[in-house]
Amino acid sequence: MDERKVKVLVVDDHLITRQYFEATIRSSVRYELLASLPLAQEAVEYCRSHAVELVVMDVLMQHGVDGLTAAGIIKKEHPETKIVLATSTAEAKWLKEAQDLGIEALWYKNYGESPLLEVMDRVMAGDTFYLDETENLTLGNAKKADLTERELDVLRELVACYTTEQIADRLSVSVNTVKMHIRHLLEKTGFSDRLELAIHASKNNLVVSDRERQAGDPNAQ
């Protein structure tokens, strides 16, 4: 008798990536693709009316709520449903947020050496997969691991194109403190100015501002 297949929901707003997820699941005898959706909010609604055992969902979405927010809702309403969040961005703070929400895995599409099916197998076996394989990524002359948490906070705001005064207000620090962190970032990375620093950080997907993550959410501030 064949083993019962795990029922999987795929969620990604990029068609090519979604098709890759679909093909990966269909290639395995252990999993059954229930549905493939382009919006995270649709995933929330789908889980309310279907017995989903595993969700594979991207974090960033162009429209509606982001995948991390939707995953938190699904986990709250259906704690038995396991979730693999996928991202191509080396945003470290998402890892802690995923852990706090009880999400089983955060998988890096671009950086991870572990295939998706392997991560799914581990999650369904009761393991978690939070391996941060991005610490050796570089920004100019610096490794990501060389940057402090506060410097990363400032870098996120720079990528979002906030001014020094706005960054100070958003982080509840002084303007001089922001200037100090920017100076340290430039010294560590070797970039000549804040614009060059922000461009390279954005190009390398090293950090993502809350503004970008919530860009598709009409209720985001």
The structural architecture, per CATH, of the domain 138-203 is Orthogonal Bundle (1.10)
Structure token pair of residue 111 = 């950086």
Q: Give phi and psi for 86, each to the nearest 5.
A: -115, 140
Q: What is the pLDDT of residues 1-10, one digit of tens each?
A: 347 899 999 9
* Contact predicate 110/88, CB 8 Å: yes
Q: Does the pLDDT of residue 218 top 50, yes or no?
A: no
What is the pLDDT, as a whole number, of residue 62?
Answer: 78
Please give the average per-residue pLDDT across 197-212, as a whole number: 77
Q: What is the pLDDT of residues 92-145, one digit of tens each?
A: 678 888 989 999 998 887 655 578 999 999 999 999 988 655 566 788 999 888
Please give the average per-residue pLDDT across 149-169, as a whole number: 91
Top-level class of domain 6-124: alpha beta
Asked whether the whole model's pTM tops 0.95, one would answer no
160 or 217, higher pLDDT: 160
Read off the pLDDT band of 214 (50, 70, 90): low
Tell me the C-alpha to C-alpha distance, in Å, between residue 219 and each of 39, 140, 208.
Answer: 15, 36, 19
What is the pLDDT, as a whole number, of residue 51?
Answer: 95
* Contact predicate 81/62, CB 8 Å: no
Q: Where are the domains of the chain?
A: 6-124, 138-203
Dihedral angle, C-alpha 134, 131, 12, 28, nearest 10 °: 130
